[in-house]
Chain A
Amino acid sequence: MSCAHIPLTGRNLSDDFAFLTHILPGINTCKGSVSAMQFLSHCTSLAQQLPAGVHVINLCNNRYRFLVAFCAVILRNQTNLLPPNKNVATQIRLASLYDDCYLLHDGDTDIASDIRALNMTDLVLDISTTFDVSPTIPAEHLAAISFTSGSTGDSKPNKKYWHSLKVSSDINYRHMIPENTSVLHQVATVPAQHMWGLETSIFLPLHHNVCIADSRPFYPEDILLHLRLLPQPRMLVTTPVHLRSLVEGFSERTISDVRPHVDLILCATSPLLPVLAKSAEAFFTGELREVYGCSEVGSMAVRHTANDTVWRLFDDIAFNYQPDGVVVTAEHLAESTLLQDKIERCDTHHFVLKGRSEDMIDIAGKRGSLVEINQVLLSFDGLQDGLVFFPKNQPGLGRLAAIVTLKTGVTKNDVKQYFRQHVDNAFVPRPIIVVDELPREETGKLSNSTIMNIYSHRKISV
């Protein structure tokens, strides 16, 4: 492995590689397809213009710019840092943790003022260099460090080596994409910086028959519009949250003419209800495959959720069932990973998910640890006593709730501000219930029924 090289892209260089829905200054002069050859030209042109450095915080919003930036960084033997969010505080923390770091962005993001930064939209990238073959990358190059979307700022880094990303992508392609000889045109609603977005919207186009749209549509109308812009066959990469807003937002309207046919929908990040999977398949008249994965390993299993409860484990990934949980190993992964989910084995290749371990919570696909969030609350100076919990059976997506007693002069708003500074917005408790005293038992414990009693009898809007 030590001297092996792997091509930057495995695509035929005349293939449609990306589809630009916008004019991108410095990149293209008209909307539409970009070939793999033109993509390589953009990458090598940017690589020549990058400053010296070791780590690059890749903040690009436009997916094509992200992809060109990602590969140019690798061509320069540098390493992409994929921030879990775009907050300035996160940029500052990453720059303090990683040597010789700079920011690469495309203008539409708040940028930490005291870190070196390069705005890609200020550069002109040559589109006309020709190649006989793709440039290659050393197999053991540390291409990227991704971060587990944790509840607090200190998310866990995961090292992604070039050969490992390539092998994962080959495995993913075999299990995610039905056998298909023509190029699938992809719209993705997830950020490229997250593992799910990286695997599907960056690595599938790099190595397989997928042409990626440069956009990241958010609202249902935008998603449909961008799908309609693409030639067929099409695929959509998304999450249960986006799917729900799509299917429920349109189902009552008779607008069959605006619904694009989508051949394949890939959905991941949080559990998908079978009824929503069925509605999505009817809506798009295509097949929906739900994918199971985690930031450390990437994608691991797939199922046809409309019909199946059982997951098919990917070939070349092994589940080792141990007393404290399931440990994942694979030849292409440097480390083994203990999963945070309860898993029941059916046979070597199949399993059923039985829910998360008690500590793990999932809010619209963002995963966090209740223990960590409680530690944040306990570190608040104005607190006398309190806890954060996840009430069951909430309408909608569900949020965390907190019950607190506060020192004199401290307000609920102070607690809220403290949370906003220290945890991802999705984990800021709502509501925060202020009480005179927490009815702890003699052992100091708070029973579940006591907590739920306070929660369900809370005064609405004090």
Chain B
Amino acid sequence: MAIQSSEELEVAKLLVDVLNLEDITAEEVDPEEMLFGDGLGLDSIDALEIALAISQKYGVQMKAEDESTREAFATLKSLTIFIFASKA
């Protein structure tokens, strides 16, 4: 697995926390593994929960209209890049 950056670990902790992902620790989330579908197996309910947590913690809003949001939800890595770029 690729090595997590400190920002990725921070976002991974948020995911594990809000989604009650008990089968995996924040440290174990592979930055390049797919979040939805076969990877972590998240679904659309999780997507709303994640969007809510991100808006509360970082003040960043997800928008499905933006291609960038769809791409952001691909992996931990892309989600982290999206959050920290939008926040800045």
Give which listed residue, A220, A363, A430, A458, contacts B21 with CB less than 8 A.
Answer: A430
- Which A-chain residue is minimally distant from B24 (CB atoms)? A461
Neighbouring B residues of A221 by C-beta, 8 Å? 61-63
Interface extent on A, as a size class? 35 or more
Whether A245 pairs with B22 at a CB distance below 8 angstroms is no
For this complex, into which size category does the number of interface residues on chain B fall? 20 to 34
**Chain B CB within 8 A of A395 CB:** yes
B71 at the interface (CB under 8 A from A): no
The CA-CA distance from A395 to B59 in the complex, in Å, is: 22
Residues of chain A contacted by B24 (CB below 8 angstroms)? 461
Considering only residues 1-57 of chain B, those with a C-beta below 8 Å from chain A are 18-25, 28, 41, 43-45, 47-49, 51-52, 55-56
Residues of A close to B59: CB separation below 8 A: 253
How many angstroms from the CA of A416 to the CA of B56 in the assembled complex?
Answer: 31
B65 within 8 A of A: yes
Among A222, A242, A412, A462, residue most surrounded by chain B Cβ atoms (within 10 Å):
A222
Q: How far is the CA of A432 from the CA of B48 in the complex (A)?
A: 23
Known contacts A225-B65, A397-B45, A420-B41: does B22 contact A430 (CB below 8 Å)? yes
Choice from B48, B49, B61 contacting A218 with Cβ under 8 Å = B48
Residue numbers in B under 8 Å from A253 (CB-CB): 59
Whether the pair A249, B20 counts as a contact (CB closer than 8 A) is no
A462 to chain B, nearest CB (A): 8
In the complex, B88 has a CB within 8 A of chain A:
no
- Give CA–CA (A219, B64) in the complex, Å: 7
B69 within 8 A of A: yes
Q: Given A219-B63, A416-B41 in contact, is the A245-B20 Cβ separation under 8 Å?
A: no
Contact B21 A219 (CB under 8 A): no
Q: Which listed residue, A217, A219, A242, touches B61 by the CB 8 Å rule? A: A219
Q: Is the interface of B mostly helix, strand, loop or mixed?
A: loop
Q: Does A460 contact B (CB under 8 A)?
A: yes
A244 to B56, CA, bound (A): 12
Contact with B along A347-380 (1 / 0, CB 8 A): 0000000000000000110000000000000000
**In the complex, what residues of A have CB within 8 A of residue B41's CB?**
416, 420, 425, 428
Set A248, A250, A461: member contacting B23, Cβ < 8 A? A461
Are A396 and B18 in contact, with the CB atoms below 8 A?
yes
Interchain CB contact under 8 A, B23 and A222: no
A sample of 23 inter-chain contacts (CB < 8 A) reads A217-B65, A218-B44, A218-B47, A219-B48, A219-B69, A220-B52, A222-B64, A222-B65, A245-B49, A245-B51, A245-B52, A248-B52, A249-B55, A250-B55, A364-B45, A396-B19, A399-B20, A416-B41, A430-B21, A431-B20, A461-B24, A461-B28, A462-B23
Q: A residues within 8 Å of B by Cβ?
A: 217-222, 225, 241-242, 244-245, 248-250, 252-253, 363-364, 394-397, 399, 412, 416, 420, 425-426, 428, 430-432, 458, 460-462
Besides A248-B52, A396-B18, A461-B25, 9 other A-B contacts (C-beta < 8 A): A219-B64, A219-B69, A241-B48, A253-B59, A394-B20, A399-B20, A425-B41, A428-B41, A461-B22
